[in-house]
Amino acid sequence: MHYDFLQIENKWQKKWEENKVFKVNYDKNKPKYYCLEMFPYPSGKIHMGHVRNYAIGDVIARFKKMKGFNVLHPMGWDAFGLPAENAAIKNKIHPAKWTYSNIDYMRAQLKQLGLSYDWDREVATCDPEYYKWEQLVFLKMYEKGLIYRKKSTVNWCEDCNTVLANEQVEDGKCWRCSNEVTMKEINGWFFKITDYAEELLEYTYKLEGWPEKVLTMQRNWIGKSYGAEIDFEVKGFDRKITVFTTRPDTLFGATFMLLAPEHEMSKELIKGTSYEEEGLKFINSILKEDKISRSADNKEKKGFFTGRYVYNPLTKKEIPVYIANYILIDYGTGAVMAVPAHDQRDFEFAKKYNLEITVVINPEGQELAPENMSEAYTGQGIMVNSGKFNGISNEEAKTKITEFLEEENIGKKTVNFRLRDWGISRQRYWGAPIPVIHCKKCGIVPVPEKDLPVRLPLDVEFTGSGNPLETSAEFKNVKCPLCGIDAERETDTMDTFVESSWYFLRYCSPKCSTNIFDKEEAEYFMNVDQYIGGVEHAILHLLYARFFTKVLRDLGYINIDEPFERLLTQGMVCKETYSCKNDGWLFPEDVDEGKCKICGEQVVVGRVEKMSKSKKNVVDPDALIKRYGADTARLFSLFAAPPEKDLEWSEQGVDGCYRFINRIFRLFVNNLELIKTEYNAEYEDSKLAKDILYHMHFTIKKVTNDIEKFQLNTAVAAIMELTNNLYLIEPKLSTDYEKQKFKECLINMIKLLTPFTPHFCEELWSLAGGKGFISLEKWPEYEEKYTVKDEITLAIQVNGKVRAEIVMPKDVDKETALKAARENEKIMGYLEGKTLVKEIYVPGKLISLVVK
RNA sequence: GCCGGAGUGGCGGAAUUGGCAGACGCACCGGACUCAAAAUCCGGCGGGCUAAUCACCCGUGGGGGUUCGAGUCCCCCCUCCGGCACCA
């Protein structure tokens, strides 16, 4: 007998929707809980990663609801982005149409999973009613000086025909299409995230509910380092060059200086000299290199002598200035004092170009000589060759030398960050337009607030080259709001990471028409109590969202510092790959008994890796739901692995979960008469009744605690165990009291299971004569006294090895237990002829006897 | 190179503060039901030794240590995964 999941799931999805079971309203008298899963990009269909992510979130949301919280559990669409535009180019379909039809399909898929969203709060970021608030915030940020426009060398992806943020470049390749990234000079807009570097870093130490891994990644990304900026005067040139160093203690050992090719002084120093021609050639040869090859692993260090010298501010010696390929323009000041004795890169450079090496730090009890060194000494030690700083430790010298530089006005203590401002300009159509106008007379003019939103135009051609917005006359040609002359509208659109930086706030009052969100409602629902999503967003999205929240706070929109209280990064969904020599990668359904269905060739089973379309090791959620139902699909993705770990997909494992659901179904149906009977039995001291009570209360406790700790796999295991026990108990039932408790246990069991397999539980609840929805029932409570058995089994160890077991009453005292242990027949054998030197009793667990 | 995380049966994975390693599921084996099969129900299932499901020994990547007792704590090493990486 199998249950009819198709009919059952459709029925309950409809009922939930008709009765607005998961609608949530602002109600400051109720305790709230905000459960959020990262919203998807509407690419067409959901994949198993979504199923897992949303199943996890749904368990939490439903659990908290049954626990009595006013749960905000919303869903929406990260709807701007390149694929829509690529589809437009390829299929001549407008990005909006493509996007909205995908949304419709995916929404239906999510509904089929029975997720407890309040769909009335759905948002799509491509909706002008959504992005107009982003444009408003842009204007406020601009006013406050948090946005600027500058010309810069940017990462450019030829394939996507757009600029990429540093965060979107992975291994020198485009994060989206893996095309090689090249460099291009372009004008663009920047958010001053660096203004918040310190605070973003500081709060990584306060986010206690976040995985350490993610916090570490963010800290590395922000990359704070302490050091000094030091000015070097150029010989015969009325200019100074400032360097940043974390090692001011080594300043006496600085024997040359290095400039990034992009540094303004690189060209300046050689201008009009005999070095100019060669130098420019050198600079250009490096600049035209793309990012990957320039930052390649063991890239050879190359330099060009400018013919110029600067004075080491402490030794007063003239030291040569080189332009070098390994100096980064966007870290520090783009200029470096080179200390070959104590920095490996500089050491290699000095060897190659035969430059002076001066040791200024000796390791404790050792004396370094440059001619004997085969590598730089980067450790701690005692200062030498450093004038009045000789003899002290280099750590002390760091402070002392910096202080001296400050007194002499040639340097200052600084803090440097690796984090750079967030370039948000994208030369694409399908994004939120940047609300500014370029006027020949007035310069950059913000669009007046009353003219928002700046909507995307429709008279656009998608040819695949250049920014489509440039081709829209209607969009581009405007009058200057200030002086009224002909002007041009900005055609850059914003990075789609901007929309996802505040969607969680919009969910709090998605229909608010007077502001980005209703402050009161947002302050009620925020923070997000639990955020769940993929670890791939550990840096990009999560850092931007934190930044944006702080900006909104400083603009007075909301009074919170951080948006996400707790974060769970779920693992990937993986599966083994299949391939055959004729047809390459194969879908699982193309494999039949180890043979390729297409050509009949032997199939090669590859290693388990992340499900991906390219390797075809995917399971289609639609097919899965059709075959097993949503409840089974959900249950397996929750049971097969702990949420934060990778999950290996297994068809047989899914089968096992399906069997389990059917097992409960049968247990229920077989006892339907019992379940529908109203018992009113007196308490009875029967062994079986006690057994039932124990299993029931123990399981309620276990499942409740496990869900709180996000151990969803063991929560499911506990319910499976209970089911197994109930199967064994069922044939033994005799008295009314036992039946009454058995019934109670069955009812509680399906309540515990409701967050995992909600449709199925609703059906059993209604079969049992339950009123309303089990989804709205109160979560079962347990009584501690029933979670322990009357009798406990104590293990007896002799010298650390378990030799026997005894059964004792649960509250047995130490002496009685020890006496019983000593008198145990088996144990006596081990004690014979030995001296008992120590006795340990661990209540309820074991007894340990030590003999000699 | 630096920073994180992880190594447990044939497999996925369990194990409060150190307290009977292997819960639960998969696979496999046996039994019941059946003319038979499937489904279902019951039972077994780390390795060695053994006639034995008696007893004993070994066993959580490897080697040491602390402890009555270590998957768990400490030291050293190996392997794998993830992130960052010429960051001055």
When the pLDDT of each residue in chain A is averaged and rounded to a whole number, the result is 90
- Residue A28 burial (10 A CB sphere; 0-12, 13-18, 19+): exposed
Supply the pTM of this predicted model. Answer: 0.92
The pLDDT, as a whole number, for residue A813 is 83
**A344 nearest nt, CA–C1':** B86
Q: Report which residue is nearest nucleotide B83 when distances run from CA to C1'.
A: A217
- Tokens representing residue A391 in the block: 């003899």
pLDDT in tens, A475-531: 999 999 999 999 999 999 999 999 999 999 999 999 999 999 999 999 999 999 999
SS3 A295: coil
Q: Which of A640, A762, A848 is nearest to A56 (CA)?
A: A640
| pLDDT reported for residue A658 | 95
Element (H, E) at A840: strand A836-842
The confidence score (pLDDT) of residue A176 equals 64
The answer, yes or no, to whether residue A59 has pLDDT greater than 60, is: yes
Here the contacts of A669-673 (C-beta below 8 Å, separation 24 or greater) are: A669/A1, A669/A767, A670/A730, A671/A730, A671/A742, A671/A743, A671/A746, A672/A767, A672/A768
Q: How confident is the model at residue A446 (pLDDT cuts 50, 70, 90)?
A: very high
Instruction: Provide the residue type at A249 as one letter.
Output: D
Q: How far is the CA of A803 from the C1' of B63 (A)?
A: 29
Measured CA A842 to C1' B17 distance, in angstroms: 12
Residue type at position A186: I
Of A10-24, A63-77, A242-256, A366-380, which gets the smallest average pLDDT?
Answer: A366-380
At A596, is the pLDDT very low, low, confident or very high (cuts 50, 70, 90)?
confident
Task: Write the pLDDT tens digit of every residue in A663-677.
Answer: 999 999 999 999 999
Closest nucleotide C1' to the C-alpha of A837 = B68
Specify which residue's alpha carbon is closest to the C1' of nucleotide B24: A717
DSSP H helical ranges for A598-757 = 621-628, 630-639, 651-670, 672-676, 687-708, 712-729, 736-753
B14 C1': nearest CA residue: A714
Query: What's the pLDDT at A298?
Result: 62
Mapped onto helix, strand or coil, the DSSP state of residue A261 is: coil
Distance A380 CA to B75 C1' (A): 24
On the question of pLDDT at A374 being above 90, the answer is no
Residue A635 pLDDT exceeds 70: yes
Cβ pair A347, A340 in contact under 8 A: yes
Q: How big is the CA angle at A201 (ends A196 and A202), to the nearest 5 degrees?
A: 100
Across A822-828, average pLDDT: 81
Mean pLDDT throughout A561-569? Answer: 94
Q: How confident is the model at residue A179 (pLDDT cuts 50, 70, 90)?
A: confident
Strands A567-570 and A530-534 come out as parallel
Average pLDDT over residues A727-735: 93
Nucleotides in chain B near protein beta carbons (<7 Å): 3-5, 11-15, 17, 19-21, 23-27, 39-43, 56-57, 68-70, 82-88
Work out the pLDDT band at A42, boundaries 50, 70, 90.
very high
> What's residue A491's pLDDT?
94
Contact A291, A389 (CB under 8 A): no
The CA–C1' separation of A709 and B61, in angstroms, is 28
**A177 against A563, higher pLDDT:** A563
Distance A830 CA to B49 C1' (A): 22
- Whether the predicted pLDDT of A266 surpasses 90: yes
Q: What is the pLDDT of residues A641-666, one digit of tens each?
A: 999 988 888 888 999 999 999 999 99
pLDDT digits (tens, 9 = 90+) for A764-774: 999 999 999 99
pLDDT of residue A830: 81
Please indicate whether residue A174 or residue A380 has the higher confidence score (pLDDT).
A380
- Judge whether residue A165 has pLDDT over 90: no
Nucleotide B80 C1' to residue A566 CA (A): 29
Q: Output the CA–CA distances (angstroms, integers) from residue A837 to A116, A803, A841, A847, in the order listed.
A: 61, 17, 14, 14
Strand partners for A162: A157
Distance A851 CA to B50 C1' (A): 30
Please give the span between the terminal C-alpha atoms of chain A, in angstroms, as a whole number: 62
Calculate Rg over the CA atoms of chain A. Answer: 34
Name the residue closest to the C1' of B5 by its CA.
Answer: A213
Question: pLDDT at residue A92 above 70?
Answer: yes
Tens of pLDDT, residue by residue over A204-231, are 988 888 988 898 889 989 999 999 999 9
Q: Looking at the C1' of nucleotide B85, which residue has the nearest alpha carbon?
A: A297
- Amino acid A378 CA to nucleotide B87 C1' distance, rounded Å: 16
Q: Strands A591-592 and A493-494: what pairing?
A: unpaired
Instruction: Supply A561's token pair.
Output: 């510092």
